[in-house]
Amino acid sequence: MRLRKLHADRELPQCQRMLNFTDLTSVPSHPLAPFTDRLRLAVAAYLARFKGSSREHTESDLRCYLAWCAEHGLDPLAARRPHLELYIRWMQEIRRFKPSTVSRRFSVAAGFYRTCVLDGVLEHSPAEHVRRPSVPAESPTLGCTHLQFEALLTAARESANPGDFALVAMLGLLGLRIFEATSADIADLGEEHGHRVLRVCGKGTKIVLVPLPPAVGRAIDRATGSRVRGPILLNTRGARMDRHAATRRLHRLAEAAGIQVTRAHPHMLRRLCHNHARRWR
């Protein structure tokens, strides 16, 4: 009888099999309403602790957990520690997220439950004693070499899209994060003590003035053209370039430059800039 049950379970998705093989309390079979009033208030209270891009990223990670709960008919406010353990296993074994992504997304879920305890929604957090995945102290992302960066700059300069050169220059020469580069507007360009600067809104809405080297200034002027307002970086449709469009542009530029990398990612250019700055300390 046990053998027949195992064969039948092979036809189910892997995440569903994980629930069947774990002795948990019965999960309701009917689909759960995605947001009850109590859950909606708890989510709003947690997200209200953030602002700007931090709020957007936190909402995206929390949505992943809420979608997982809805898929399995689980009320997030009734979850227990084993459910959170299964959520981590699902991210690791089914979605195959990297350890840093698993740790970040689980930290968001844990923060949500911590806020629920503070607000009196729950008596204790089910994520309190969950085993978290270990994350290496050093980032595994490798920066591209200087020769590869020069080839990428050349391909971007020769590209028909004027925003490509500005994108590569802002990431590789200024060391901006991808969301900092794509959210920059023409109105953020200015002058301070005789130097051209770019007003950058970083993590936690922290505002910094970044001096623009002449090469980056020329790249930005080429991307903006005669425009006097709007975003600096545009996609092929004339709208603001987002991080996904920027990653696709970098993939195409890497192919055009003949750069052999497993996965061209915007963080590779930021890593190169920081490695170069560290060398001159």
Which domains can be identified in the chain, with CATH numbers? 2-118 (no CATH), 146-279 (1.10.443.10)
pLDDT tens readout for residues 51-99: 877 888 899 999 999 999 999 999 999 999 999 999 999 999 999 998 8
CA distance 261 to 11: 37
What is the predicted pLDDT for the residue at 275? 53
What is the predicted pLDDT for the residue at 33? 46
What is the predicted pLDDT for the residue at 262? 61
SS3 state at 25 = coil
User: Which residue numbers in the chain have pLDDT < 70?
Assistant: 1-35, 137-144, 204, 261-265, 267, 270-281
Q: How many CB atoms lie within 10 A of CB 179?
A: 19
**Which strand (E) or helix (H) includes residue 210?**
strand 207-211
Which residues have CB under 8 Å from 3's CB, separation 6+? Answer: none
Across-strand partners of 6?
none
Written as one letter, the residue type at 155 is: A
What is the predicted pLDDT for the residue at 272? 64
Helix and strand numbers (H, E) in the chain are: 12, 3
What is the helix, strand, coil percentage profile of the chain, to 5? 55, 5, 35
Q: Which token pair is 206? A: 């922290």
Among 173, 174, 210, CA closest to 195: 210
CA distance 7 to 50: 47
Among 108, 23, 19, CA closest to 72: 19
